[in-house]
Structure 1
């Protein structure tokens, strides 16, 4: 995958992670988080963490380091 496609995919994954965070916050405000179980908060945090990690890996790949040398 070339550098531009990797960066676009990384940006897309960051956007999706932001949408997940926004959806969880809005849902917690309107539905009342008293009824939520602990895993209702942990799973989105894990998904967002993985997506941010993968997107940062895609954005700052090794191909850029080879071009700088």
Structure 2
């Protein structure tokens, strides 16, 4: 007997109800993402995650990046 598993036709399918933004600009246009960004920033500031210090001469500051993902099973 030939089954879908043996022929490789058994493929998982995932359908997301929400689309994740590709850019910060598109995230800022969505109130839900904007609220999430503000909450994340507030948590970083409340936890004193970093402190601003003068940049030493001849050094470059490191960058940061917003990553937009929908958590399917948040803890």
Asked whether the two chains share a fold, i.e. TM above 0.5, the reply is no
Larger radius of gyration: 2
Higher relative contact order (CA 8 A, sep 6+): 1
The two structures have a TM-score, normalised by structure 2, of: 0.30
More helix by share: 1
The two structures have a TM-score, normalised by structure 1, of: 0.32
